[in-house]
Amino acid sequence: MELFNVLTVQQARETLKAHLPARTKEEIVPLLYGLNRILSRDITARDDVPGFDRSTMDGYAVRARDTFGATESLPAYLDVTGEVMMGQEAAGPLGAGQAWVIPTGGMLPPGADAVVMVEYTEELDQHTIGVTKPVAPGDHLVRRGEDVAAGSVVLQAGHRLRPQDLGLLAAVGVTQVPVLEPLRVGILSTGNELIEPEQPTTPGKVRDINSYTLYGQVVEAGGIPTLYGIIEDHFDSLRNAVVKALAENDMVLISGGSSVGARDATAKVIETLGSPGVLFHGMAIKPGKPTIGAVVEGKPLFGLPGHPVSAMVVFDLLARPIVESAGLHRPRRIFPLRAAITRNIHSATGRDDFLRVTLRRREDGALVADPVLGKSGLISTMVKADGVAHIPLTKEGVEAGELVDVWLF
């Protein structure tokens, strides 16, 4: 594969998708642990919900036709012949010209087809009421199976469970849910210049940043990360570490070693690991051009740039969607915000640019984005920023006041 035969973000995503199998590993978890998890199978209702016709109001169960024509000046008079007890089956049928006292949620007696709200009745004595407003069949009640019909698919495979979904599953008696296993992600940092954070710096050495930012991003996306430490920029050492990480994880992230430097071995290592190997080496983006995208025996593997900003941006563009597709948590960002950029920014046509920005509101309420300028090796610029603004590859830049899409961190 030719180095820097660059792909756009969309092309890179489509290329990866074409070589990745559908996620099928599942686990069964208790319903309350299913929140934000993704269903691995369809869920079918065993019972109707509700399981009986029930009232939605306090009032009287009636036959609707017995109330037709009722007015305040000429009520429809009904005999009160029974009462529905909450949580119990109706004790008998309701006949013509009769009414039963019924609470909200109570089961309608056989023969009843509507409920008159207590506000539209007047009590003549203990056994007789006058209905002052007519009801139609179905008024103020929920029919059996109106919410969920037995045998119907209530939630489909691939659905991410929300709080309301837990309630629905509880209603149909589901207490254990089949969900996708989250992705396990191995993280390696390469470079002879790297040292661990607890070590003192010496000339030529820098502390490892990417292991920690990527670890946080994986957790945030709902994956389970494992750090494999700093690997020297040497073919055999890197290959041994990557082989181990691939065997123990569903995805591997390698930061550093993706540029065209003669000592960088990442692409060469990946090509020895399995099919199809490196799918692209280079993307039409800034920051993050020297990114490597690969799939090895069905597992995605990314060679991320060594600069912290570049590595984080590329993770969000390519790796995050894959992790979130089976993740433990709700995706962080569903759609971008629109904000007015506050200064002119140049960009090259044919390249997607991702610019760090802070957001604020002007006095008129408009949302504006202030660029955070700085090189891609400066982690502090990511700390100061609220997100990244996207300058599409079709544009040569943006002018001050122009609206841009901003993806929040």
What is the 8-class DSSP label of residue 31? G
The tens digit of pLDDT for each residue in 283-314 reads 999 999 999 999 999 999 999 999 999 999 99
Predicted pLDDT of residue 398? 96
Non-local (6+) Cβ contacts of 336 within 8 A are 390, 405, 406, 407, 408
pTM of the model: 0.87
Assign domain 54-142 to its CATH architecture. Beta Complex (2.170)
Would you state the structure tokens that stand for residue 281, as one six-digit string?
Answer: 């080496």
HEC profile of 240-294 = HHHHHHHHHCCEEEEECCCCCCCCCCHHHHHCCCCCEEEEEECECEECCCCCEEE
Could you please state the CATH topology (level 3) that the domain comprising 337-408 is classified under: Beta-clip (2.40.340)
Residue with tokens 């009590």: 123
Using the predicted structure, report yes or no on whether residue 177 has a pLDDT greater than 50. Answer: yes
Q: Structural domain boundaries of the chain? A: 9-25+181-324, 26-49+146-180, 54-142, 337-408
φ and ψ at 271, to 5 degrees?
Answer: -65, -15
d(CA 126, CA 124): 7
Assign domain 26-49+146-180 to its CATH architecture. Alpha-Beta Complex (3.90)
At 335, the pLDDT band (50, 70, 90 cuts) reads confident
What angle is formed at CA 259 by the lines to CA 256 and CA 265, rounded to 5 degrees? 70
Could you please state the CATH topology (level 3) that the domain comprising 9-25+181-324 is classified under: Molybdenum Cofactor Biosythetic Enzyme; Chain A (3.40.980)
Q: Is 277 left (phi over 0), alpha (psi -120 to 50) or beta?
A: left
Predicted pLDDT of residue 39? 97
The tens digit of pLDDT for each residue in 200-233 reads 999 999 999 999 999 999 999 999 999 999 998 8
Predicted pLDDT of residue 330? 81
- The stretches of 271-319 forming alpha helices (DSSP H) are 308-314
What angle is formed at CA 398 by the lines to CA 382 and CA 387, rounded to 5 degrees? 20
The tens digit of pLDDT for each residue in 67-89 reads 999 999 999 999 999 999 999 99
